[in-house]
Structure 1
Amino acid sequence: MTTTLDETSGGAAPPNGGPKPITVGSRNNYVQLGVYVFIFVPFAALIAAVPLAWGWGLTWTDVILAVVMFEITGHGVTIGYHRFFTHGSFKAKRPLKIALAVAGSMAVQGPPIIWVADHRRHHAYSDKEGDPHSPWLFGTGPVAIAKGFWHSHMGWLFDRDITNKERFAPDLMADKDIVKVNDLFAVWTAVTFLLPAVAGGLITWSWWGALTAFFWAGLVRVAILHHVTWSTNSICHMIGDRPFVSRDRAANVWPLAILSFGESWHNLHHADPTCARHGVKRGQIDTSARMIWLFEKFGWVHSVRWPTPQRLAKISAGQEA
């Protein structure tokens, strides 16, 4: 069976033999409990972070470890999960492919195959019925918009419906490396919290240093990254600039550009989903694209889909790319 990437929807084209259902079954109680734990435990740490930072337990060691882990796991999502695995913006050599899958898993946003299936479904039905996290599914009144924001930001994560992986991610399900990383998601989740704790303990040579690093570079870092990613789903489909023509309401929100590693240049992304660079205009910071550029220089990736003046002119003019 051959699977191709649809450049318009950014998703995997359904295999021959007719379309398969969008969702299949629902999460069992244990998986649903895991979703609640991985969302609310880091979120509780984020709420506690402000008063705790005022007079307890935040050191430069914690800050440095948190920033390093934020960069690694955040780019694992934006470069790996999103631009590579979901949209095929470039081709990567096997060691980098596996490293990106592991780094993305350590962001604790779900295993790679599930994440990719959900996101390809989002592009296939963006801001229409079938989109798992559009803010525009309930109407345009004040109450509907508030409900839509909650749903698109994090409410959709509590839905039990499972996106059909066979329809939206058959290429990843056929990749033995990615299946192995996917099956070890619990391991990568443990590593993402234990690694900064071990590093903090060794650097400070104390259990207290391990505890504070676990809190700041583990729990708080994961919670912040969660909300940055979710803000792309919610805020970037509600407000912002739309210099390019897309089939939905995706927009650019510049204040999120640095924390999202360039993902908040969301209008270009939805106008041209397979493009490796999202911030294409002068001054638009896109660290994910810069890292892909470096990977290309080192020979770790190839066939990068960089933006061209001709392609940008087409989507600026409202023509189909």
Structure 2
Amino acid sequence: MNLERPAADPGRSRPSEEHARAPSGIVLDEPSTADSRRQPDIRPLWAQVLLYVFIIGPFAAAAVGLWYATTVSGVSVVDAVLFVVFYAVTGHGVTIGYHRLFTHRSFTATRPLRIGLAIAGSMALEGSVICWVADHRKHHAFSDADGDPHSPWRYGASPWALTKGLWWSHTGWLFDRHKTFTSRYAPDLLADADLVRVDRLFPVWALSSVALPGLLGWALSGFTWHGAWTALLWAGLVRIFLIHHVTFSINSVCHVVGSRPYASRDRATNVWPLAMLSMGESWHNYHHADPTSARHGAEPGQVDSSAAIIRLFERLGWATRVRWPDPTRLRARRRVP
């Protein structure tokens, strides 16, 4: 485990031009002077209220679920299966779709796959696809430096400052009403009519993410309201809670503790206990060393279900131009002992 102050003050470092570019050539540095003179893009009040509902609601549901499972009826097989299916579909929608495809262009996908991944990612309730990508590209442009939306080193490296920083990077930053400029960080997605449509329909996908498990639980339990309620609880709300906090842990835990076998300009780390739940995202050190790689768990034995599914898509002809790591790239990015 590695817990130490960054080599340089993250609040004063600036990203290099190499790291400030997306694969498409989009410049991912701070907003231009013209951008800075514009009125800040503020999240409307209704959206801010819904954000609180999306974050606090699943958290409360997890507490209710724990009480219900231990004192009332446990967890049925139907609920468990629906939980796993919805977790896998929506979680991989984020890791494969939102992250590796739309943010970093680690591969090229057919139109149906692009749309399907965007919808699946939306159903994780981590935000609409264009806003999510803009935030994440800005994170990579300023990772652990001034301008990073969610660095745990935001307040410094003392124990109290790092405690505040971990809270900020894990959840606190989400409630900042200032939005990332999508026109600056995701112009390619704004030019994609399919993704703009999916983005605008985010409320529909959010409602479906909760309603579908309930409907399936109702049908699979013999059309009982109890079956609908428990499926909505476990495969809907508790599943969203777990996906949220696993993803949030990549922003927080995976920039503070863990191993750093590869050279990156920030504090991104590998945290192996999260690998399965995060679907390979917690091999975060290699990801920051080689952001466009379609595989994050690049070493033998490193679980990365997202990469395995991308490999399947490639074999089916649905994914092309996949950027796989190779021995030369791995050696070039490995830290010198």
* Paired position in structure 2 for 1:209: 227
Q: RMSD of the alignment, in Å?
A: 1.6
Alpha-carbon contact 2:21-2:27 (below 8 Å) kept: no
Could you tell me which of 45, 48, 66 is aligned with 1:29?
Answer: 45
CA distance in 1, matches of 2:179, 2:144: 19
Could you tell me which of 48, 62, 67 is aligned with 1:46?
Answer: 62
* Paired position in structure 1 for 2:71: 55
Alpha-carbon contact 1:75-1:288 (below 8 Å) kept: yes
* Paired position in structure 2 for 1:220: 238
Alpha-carbon contact 2:80-2:235 (below 8 Å) kept: yes
Give the secondary-structure state (helix, strand or coil) at the position aligned to 2:226. helix
Paired residue total: 311
Q: Which amino acid aligns with 1:180?
A: R
1:285 aligns with 2:303: yes
CA distance in 1, matches of 2:328, 2:130: 33
Shift of 1:110: 0.3
> Deviations along 1:272-296, whole A, 9 cap, x unmatched?
0000000011110000000000000
Q: Which amino acid aligns with 2:289?
A: A
Tell me which stretches of 4 or more aligned residues in structure 1 moved more than 6 Å.
none
1:260 aligns with 2:271: no
Alpha-carbon contact 2:260-2:269 (below 8 Å) kept: yes
* CA spacing shift, 1:99–1:10, aligned 2, 3 Å: farther
* Paired position in structure 2 for 1:238: 256
- Where in structure 1 are there 5+ consecutive unaligned residues? 1-5
Give the secondary-structure state (helix, strand or coil) at the position aligned to 1:282. coil
> Deviations along 1:198-223, whole A, 9 cap, x unmatched?
11000112111001100110000000
CA distance in 2, matches of 1:317, 1:68: 38
CA distance in 2, matches of 1:48, 1:9: 44
Give the secondary-structure state (helix, strand or coil) at the position aligned to 2:252. helix
Shift of 1:270: 0.3
Shift of 1:9: 4.3
TM-score (norm. length: structure 1): 0.94
Alpha-carbon contact 1:136-1:148 (below 8 Å) kept: yes
Shift of 1:48: 2.1
CA distance in 2, matches of 1:252, 1:317: 14
Alpha-carbon contact 1:7-1:272 (below 8 Å) kept: no
Shift of 1:25: 2.1
1:13 aligns with 2:11: no
Q: Which amino acid aligns with 2:311?
A: W
Shift of 1:46: 1.1
> Deviations along 1:48-74, whole A, 9 cap, x unmatched?
222221132421110100000000000
CA distance in 2, matches of 1:9, 1:198: 45
Q: Which amino acid aligns with 1:311?
A: R
Give the secondary-structure state (helix, strand or coil) at the position aligned to 1:131. coil
Alpha-carbon contact 1:10-1:86 (below 8 Å) kept: no
CA distance in 2, matches of 1:254, 1:76: 21
CA distance in 2, matches of 1:7, 1:77: 25
1:175 aligns with 2:188: no
Q: Which amino acid aligns with 2:274?
A: L
Deviates more, 1:48-57 or 1:267-276: 48-57
- Where in structure 2 are there 5+ consecutive unaligned residues? 1-16
CA distance in 2, matches of 1:111, 1:187: 11
Deviates more, 1:248-257 or 1:305-314: 305-314
Shift of 1:317: 4.8
Alpha-carbon contact 1:7-1:274 (below 8 Å) kept: no
CA distance in 2, matches of 1:52, 1:235: 30
Alpha-carbon contact 1:113-1:165 (below 8 Å) kept: yes
Alpha-carbon contact 1:8-1:273 (below 8 Å) kept: no
Alpha-carbon contact 2:156-2:162 (below 8 Å) kept: yes
* Paired position in structure 2 for 1:3: none
TM-score (norm. length: structure 2): 0.89
> Deviations along 1:160-189, whole A, 9 cap, x unmatched?
111000010000000000000000000001
Alpha-carbon contact 2:93-2:118 (below 8 Å) kept: yes
Give the secondary-structure state (helix, strand or coil) at the position aligned to 1:161. coil
CA distance in 2, matches of 1:260, 1:10: 26
* Paired position in structure 2 for 1:195: 212
Q: Percent identity?
A: 53
CA distance in 2, matches of 1:220, 1:238: 26
1:66 aligns with 2:77: no
